[in-house]
Amino acid sequence: MSSRGTEKLLLTVPEAAEVLGVSRSHLYSLIQQGRLPTIRLGCSVRIPKAWLERYIEESVQEWQAAHDERG
């Protein structure tokens, strides 16, 4: 089966860090804080793309709520 035209559902930590535009160490910190869930496949850590998108959406909502309170 070819991977052409298919999108990854699970990202490695370096891939997810690149998508978010943060360092790997920052992403590992978010994982350790429990802010970003992961899936373990043997010794590998993977982050479902859907969970990464949800993390971004929740972060935007937190930012908006914090700025709405100020205004």
- Domains of the chain with CATH codes: 10-70 (1.10.1660)
Q: What is the pLDDT of residue 6?
A: 84
Instruction: Specify the pLDDT at position 3.
Output: 57
The helix/strand/coil state of 3 is: coil
Contact 4, 24 (CB under 8 A): no
pLDDT, block means (10 residues), the chain with 71 residues: 74 96 96 94 95 94 88 65
On the 0-12 / 13-18 / 19+ scale of CB atoms within 10 A, 7 is exposed
Provide the pLDDT for residue 69: 77
